[in-house]
Chain A
């Protein structure tokens, strides 16, 4: 495929070129409504079909290690403390004390005020900002939820301050929430502008940028058509990742929702040559479920997406189930919860 000229554009230029004007409500609505709709029955049937893939033996082994390396190990509780975060980080670095060969997770994901604690706990294992994959031992990143997570109901100034705080504290990645109220009310321009502003707030003093994940909170958007439009909107505005959910609203990530977002990412790549990441978050608890996501990624956008730069699982309990499966594959017999650690 020849590289699209759109690939060389800055996000703002690209958006303006695509929507054919300023990012106003009217222009964005016209653009987003021109995107083909989704038939929910067909989407869910396709997701279910992908879910029937049978991943065995060597493929399963690869899948399990890959899943671990794609996890954003998450704690997002009002009760979080530096101690809890230290424990999480320890688990992130050594998921299975019984098997030092176990890969590290991709990142830890915490509230903004816990970023400092996470960075400290990681120490030299903290991935350097801007580090690319494949440069030796994988560092663990720190992701911070921000922008008045999970509801996003605060002034823009407060949201941006939230972001700047987290970036200043050493966050490598910012997981922002979109203003679902504005989106559902049709104020696409406002949603767009906010993402652009948050993206700018991700800029560090040295000019480098924290990666921006845009949480759509698909459970509140309700329809697949809304998810698809919000995905396009988030990508147009410059998001590096699109993420399903905060984990605080049910339903969180589902396979059909994730599939619909992957289709947007695939189409964006066809259009611009640019690769956008996808992060299903919340509700993925078993390795069996996680493998269905790997299959869906591989068959929708291609397996080159199965890297931490382009795909993540936002999860907490998933890791232990995957470790139990990993132990089963290593030893040949079933393991139990006493043989994996709680964080």
Chain B
């Protein structure tokens, strides 16, 4: 007799915990063939608000961690993801309807992307910073620093895991904390990734994942005064211009949607997009 499987309850990931939506709502996640896979939490604006609070609270610790430490933590995610390849491959196959080879290639690329970004943590400052030869007796240094709390609309197309990783990893490199609205149709790998994050060394609140409707949640994040930046990479199907207009109220840094095969491709500029250059002058004299 076959053993009866134990299905997983897919919940939100906020502040290092896995709460249900405060609204109590769920929505059905279907396989590519239309079969029921799971009831995912349907996050609300209040969940998004809680996620922003968690992200803000985690910011000091994450941004203040040494670059070496952040690099190791991000690398640790790759290690754990590698150990759970099978789970992600299975979820991707069922959700996205791809074969094992394609799913496996996506997981591998997601893992490698963590590794690539992890390596940037203690280098991007060197590449993007400057000692400035000002004409006066001053020590003058410009360094990029994290922008703060970054809200991300994850890519909504195929490749749910890779899209999510490609969106959140670069923001994390510099020390930002993120609130990400997951792929609406294929949220399973997002919540499974949350389990990886929760069991790796990523401090609670550094990554917060809200599943549900981007159409419903994105406006609350775009207008939230305590969000510093908005990555609309996966918002191409939303009224993203309206979101960008809302974001202007508090002068949020905004990245527009990206589509096609090249969307959210790994790039130093994705890291730098969520940094602020700080220039410090200090007097210099021997007398």
Q: Which A residues are within 8 Å of any B CB, using their own CB?
A: 39-42, 44, 222-224
Contacts and interface: CB of A to CB of B under 8 A. Distances in A.
Contacts of A224: 287
A20 B286 CA distance: 32
A41 B137 CA distance: 7
Nearest to A41: B283
B68 interface: no
Contacts of B284: 41
B283 A42 contact: yes
Which 5 residue pairs across A and B have the least CB separation, nearest first? A40-B285, A41-B283, A40-B287, A41-B137, A41-B285
Interface residues of B, number: 8
A222 B287 contact: yes
A39 B287 CA distance: 8
Contacts, number: 18
Contacts of B138: 41
B118 to A, nearest CB: 41
Interface in B212-252: none
Given A40-B285, A42-B283, 12 more contacts: A39-B283, A39-B285, A40-B283, A40-B286, A40-B287, A41-B283, A41-B284, A41-B285, A44-B285, A222-B287, A223-B287, A224-B287
A77 to B, nearest CB: 30
Contacts of A39: 283, 285
Contacts of B287: 40, 222-224
Secondary structure at the B interface, as helix, strand, loop or mixed, is loop
12 contacts: A40-B285, A40-B286, A41-B136, A41-B137, A41-B138, A41-B283, A41-B285, A42-B283, A44-B285, A223-B286, A223-B287, A224-B287
A222 to B, nearest CB: 7
Interface in B248-287: 283-287
Most buried by A among B137, B284, B285: B285
A221 B4 CA distance: 88
A110 to B, nearest CB: 32
A220 to B, nearest CB: 13
B78 to A, nearest CB: 48
Interface string B109-129: 000000000000000000000
A32 B8 CA distance: 72
Contacts of A223: 286-287
B140 to A, nearest CB: 12
B161 to A, nearest CB: 54
Nearest to B137: A41
A222 B285 CA distance: 12
A40 B137 CA distance: 10
Contacts of B283: 39-42
Interface in B129-145: 136-138
A44 B286 CA distance: 12
Contacts of B137: 41
A40 B287 CA distance: 6
Most buried by A among B136, B138, B283, B284: B283
B257 to A, nearest CB: 49
Nearest to A40: B285
Nearest to B282: A41
Most buried by A among B137, B285, B287: B287
Most buried by B among A41, A42, A224: A41
A298 B284 CA distance: 29
Contacts of B285: 39-41, 44
Nearest to A221: B287
Nearest to B136: A41
B17 to A, nearest CB: 50
B137 to A, nearest CB: 5
A211 to B, nearest CB: 30
Contacts of A222: 287
A40 to B, nearest CB: 3
B284 to A, nearest CB: 7
A223 B286 CA distance: 7
Interface in B182-237: none
B280 to A, nearest CB: 15
Nearest to A38: B287
B281 to A, nearest CB: 10
A224 B283 CA distance: 15
A259 to B, nearest CB: 13
A226 to B, nearest CB: 9
Nearest to A225: B287
Contacts of A41: 136-138, 283-285
Nearest to B138: A41
A217 to B, nearest CB: 15
A39 B281 CA distance: 14
A112 B273 CA distance: 74
B208 to A, nearest CB: 45
A222 B287 CA distance: 6
Contacts of B136: 41
A76 B177 CA distance: 72
A40 B284 CA distance: 8
A41 B285 CA distance: 6
Contacts of A42: 283
A41 B284 CA distance: 7
A17 B286 CA distance: 33
Nearest to B283: A41
A44 B137 CA distance: 11
A251 to B, nearest CB: 10
A58 to B, nearest CB: 36
Contacts of A44: 285
